[in-house]
């Protein structure tokens, strides 16, 4: 049996509806802005229960615009977890600010609050929390620290559409939340896409201009911005996919529960340790083992694709400077992402589990 990590074609729901819609947009030459984009922003802000949503060209731009909306003094420090996609730190650097890497918990791979307390200095002006793998970070603790120290919070929700901390959507706790709609994401479009959500009218108005050369209406430039618009066809696809999205989270949770049940106490495998009070969207299902490389090779031989998110911690990229990290020190050598998506059948997931069991049986 072959088990792909993701099958993007299979992940497209309502294909005939999408084709009909795209045909309509092509016939009417609707490519930039318009009703589809406005509808998507309205639908997405309703979905996450935020006051405002501004759609953008990708999740990296969303981070860059979110950070610049806070108007932080140049060379201020911004704390960011060490286990995340490079964009989270890049957006800090491209804003003329300094990323300070923070350790992550080994239970859920989210920002370690104890280390965060140590990393806050008088130069810290913002914290970016990353709800990695669709698992919410401990926002209530981070929020307490941000209030105490007068620090802004950005939530990187690129992997966490529909993830909730207690009963509230991630992205709505801090000053601003950012999303990516990259095709492989849980809610992925036909190409790059992104958005910010916020309850601040000031940030909303800034982002509306920042994505469109500093202008809302033609030639009404108020500052030097950029081109970061979500394409109309992409917005139309995302509108259709969003309608189906609650079902996606349900199936991903069902698969995650099978992994939890059947991989528990197997060999040296460490699983997520998650609070039942939260809603997880399981963008990835990550296990940890010191046999990561041999296990991945073995699964590959059996037709199973796995991935690593990520093979290095960001402090290992020397151009980001020197940072002290303890818990996550060699995480990049141990973590392995197993196949999980709404299109994987239980037969495929059980095949993956059986091959992992066999791997450990042959070890003992």
Ligand X SMILES: Cc1ncc(COP(=O)(O)O)c(C=O)c1O
Binding positions for ligand X, rule: CB under 6 A: 58-60, 84-85, 87-88, 130, 156, 158-159, 180, 182, 192, 194
CB-CB neighbours of 234 under 10 Å: 23
Nearer to ligand X, 195 or 356 (CB): 195
Residue 134 in tokens: 């669709």
Is beta strand 194-198 parallel, antiparallel or unpaired with respect to 176-180? antiparallel
Q: Closest distance between ligand X and the C-beta of residue 81, in Å?
A: 9
Is 355 within 8 Å of 304 (Cβ atoms)? yes
Chain position carrying tokens 């589990």: 353
Which residue, 60 or 232, is less far from ligand X as judged by CB? 60
Cβ proximity to ligand X: between 193 and 339 the closer is 193
Q: How far is the CB of 181 from ligand X (least distance, A)?
A: 7
Q: How far is the CB of 55 from ligand X (least distance, A)?
A: 12
Taking only Cα atoms into account, the Rg of the chain, rounded to an integer number of angstroms, comes to 21
Instruction: With residue 169 as reference, give the H or E element that holds it.
Output: strand 168-169
Least distance (Å) from ligand X to the CB of residue 134? Answer: 10
Cis-peptide, bond into residue 195, ω within 30° of zero: no
The dihedral over CA atoms of 88, 89, 91, 92, expressed in degrees to the nearest 10, equals 130
- CB 11 → ligand X: shortest distance, Å? 16
Question: Of 87 and 95, which CB lies nearer to ligand X in the complex structure?
Answer: 87
CB of 60 to ligand X, least distance (A): 3
Residue nearest to ligand X (CB): 59
Q: What is the DSSP letter of 33?
A: S
Nearer to ligand X, 126 or 356 (CB): 126
Residues 6+ apart with CB under 8 A from 296: 306, 308, 336
- For ligand X, the closer CB: 182 or 351: 182
């Amino acid at each position: 049996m072959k088990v792909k990590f993701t099958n993007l074609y299979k992940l497209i729901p309502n294909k005939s509806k999408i084709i009909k819609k795209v045909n309509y947009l092509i016939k009417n030459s609707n490519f930039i802005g318009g009703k589809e984009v406005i509808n998507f922003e309205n639908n997405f802000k309703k979905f996450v229960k935020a006051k405002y949503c501004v759609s953008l060209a990708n999740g990296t731009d969303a981070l860059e615009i979110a950070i610049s909306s806070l108007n932080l003094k140049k060379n201020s420090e911004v704390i960011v977890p060490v286990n995340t996609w490079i964009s989270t730190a890049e957006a800090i650097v491209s804003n003329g600010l300094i990323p300070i890497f923070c350790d992550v918990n080994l239970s859920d791979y989210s920002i370690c609050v104890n280390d965060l307390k140590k990393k806050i200095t008088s130069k810290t002006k913002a914290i970016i929390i990353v709800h990695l793998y669709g698992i919410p970070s401990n926002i209530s603790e981070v929020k307490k620290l941000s209030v105490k120290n007068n620090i802004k919070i950005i939530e990187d929700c690129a992997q966490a559409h529909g993830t909730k901390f207690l009963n509230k959507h991630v992205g709505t706790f801090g000053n601003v939340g950012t999303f990516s709609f990259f095709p492989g994401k849980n809610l992925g479009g036909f190409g790059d896409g992104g958005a910010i959500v916020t309850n601040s009218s000031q940030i909303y108005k800034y982002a509306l201009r920042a994505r469109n050369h500093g202008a809302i209406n033609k030639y009404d430039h108020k500052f030097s911005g950029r081109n970061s618009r979500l394409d109309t066809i992409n917005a139309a696809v995302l509108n259709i996919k969003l309608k189906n999205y609650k079902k996606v989270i349900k199936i991903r949770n069902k698969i995650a529960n099978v992994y939890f049940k059947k991989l528990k106490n197997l060999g040296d495998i460490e699983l997520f340790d998650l609070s039942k009070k939260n809603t997880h969207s399981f963008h990835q299902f990550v296990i940890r083992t010191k046999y990561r490389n041999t296990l991945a090779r073995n699964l590959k031989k059996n037709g199973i694709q796995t991935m690593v998110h990520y093979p290095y911690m960001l402090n290992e990229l020397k151009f980001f400077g020197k940072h002290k990290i303890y818990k996550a020190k060699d995480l990049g050598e141990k973590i392995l992402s197993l196949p999980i998506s709404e299109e994987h059948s239980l037969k495929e997931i059980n095949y993956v589990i059986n091959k992992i069991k066999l791997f450990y049986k042959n070890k003992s």
